[in-house]
Amino acid sequence: MQTQKLTAGSSIAESYHFLAGHRPHFFRLIYGPLFMWVLVKLTEQILINEYNIQINGKNFLHLFTAAFAIVWYRQFLLGADFASYRSLLKNGFTGNKFTLKRIGRAVIRIAMITLALLVPTLMVSIGMMIYYQGQGIQLSESGLQELAMKSTFIVMMIFSPILVRLSLYTAGFALGRTSLSFTQVWKQTRGYTVTLWWVAIRGFLPLSIYSYILTWFLHEVTSKLSVNYIISTILIETLAGFLTFMMLAIVVAANAEAFRVLIGIRDGDTPHREDAGLPRKESPII
């Protein structure tokens, strides 16, 4: 039975407290992804400036941030002994080797979520295109891209109450809780939609604004000083990547705290709460 009530303030406070007390582990876990982040962005700039070849490395960045999110979940919920990229690559987080069945299930889940978001996005985009054409506005390629971004934002905002509740499933995935279903997460988060939505906003918005201002300022300075594009890219993307991982660490830990309160840890409590005098047993990889 749940004995602790979740609030946005307590979840965010626990997240910041955890990051402040686990800085060595934070730097340990972002060192590799941050290096790869800068490398991808630097490669983009070299190709476009030297060879006039334009590529989009966002998918690689998403991969790096997703990997960090999963191991930071485990850092928060299980401790440093269970949070490493090596275990993620070697055996996954269930303790079993990857199989075609497991990969197939993961692909199906991703496809279902993508379709659930893609169809409404297309409907909104088509509706906006019909409206603009009715007004006699001709859309260029850049205009279509802007339209797609607006449609995606509208759909994400509409579905955000659902997504924030189902986001706790990610923590279960990081723990290897194969028996945890979307249905169970949905039931356990009933009545906490607004709280979880506010937790996500409070975790994301402040640092995202801070990151935007700092990276914009650094870009303006390097541009005014005519700094070589390689050096400026390294400086700007190192800062952007670092702040992104910090923001992600805040959001993930706040989400993990919500998981701890609403879903619960199977064996005892989270390791970092031992100082508070709460009992905890060792959590096996399941």
pLDDT tens per residue across span 223-242: 999 999 999 999 999 999 99
Q: Which residue has the higher pLDDT, 121 or 73?
A: 73
- The pLDDT assigned to 153 comes to 79
Of residues 272, 229, 188, 256, the one with CA closest to residue 47: 229
Confidence at 3, pLDDT banded by 50, 70, 90 = low
Confidence at 105, pLDDT banded by 50, 70, 90 = low
Cα 152 from chain centroid? 17
Please write the tens of the pLDDT for every residue from 153-197.
788 788 888 889 988 988 888 888 878 888 899 999 999 999 999
Hey, CA dihedral for 16, 19, 22, 24, is it positive or negative? Answer: negative
Q: Which residue has the higher pLDDT, 114 or 195?
A: 195
- The pLDDT assigned to 276 comes to 54
- 119 vs 125: CA distance, rounded Å: 10
- The pLDDT assigned to 10 comes to 92
Q: Point out the least confidently predicted range of 65-69, 76-80, 110-114, 228-232.
A: 110-114
State which amino acid sits at residue 54. Answer: Q
Average pLDDT value over all residues in the chain: 83
Q: Spell out the SS3 assignment of the chain.
A: CCCCCCCHHHHHHHHHHHHHHCHHHHHHHHHHHHHHHHHHHHHHHHHHHHCCCCCCCHHHHHHHHHHHHHHHHHHHHCCHHHCCHHHHHHHCCCCCCCCHHHHHHHHHHHHHHHHHHHHHHHHHHHHHHHHHHHCCCCCCHHHHHHHHHHHHHHHHHHHHHHHHHHCHHHHHHHHCCCCCCHHHHHHHCCCCHHHHHHHHHHHHHHHHHHHHHHHHHHHHHHHHCCCCHHHHHHHHHHHHHHHHHHHHHHHHHHHHHHHHHHCCCCCCCCHHHHHHCCCCCCCCCC
pLDDT at 252 over 80: yes
Confidence at 282, pLDDT banded by 50, 70, 90 = very low
pLDDT at 133 over 50: yes
pLDDT at 113 over 60: no
State which amino acid sits at residue 36. Answer: M
Q: Could you tell me which residues come within 8 angstroms of residue 278 by beta carbon, excluding any fewer than 6 positions away?
A: 269
The CA R_g of the chain, rounded to the nearest whole Å, is 21
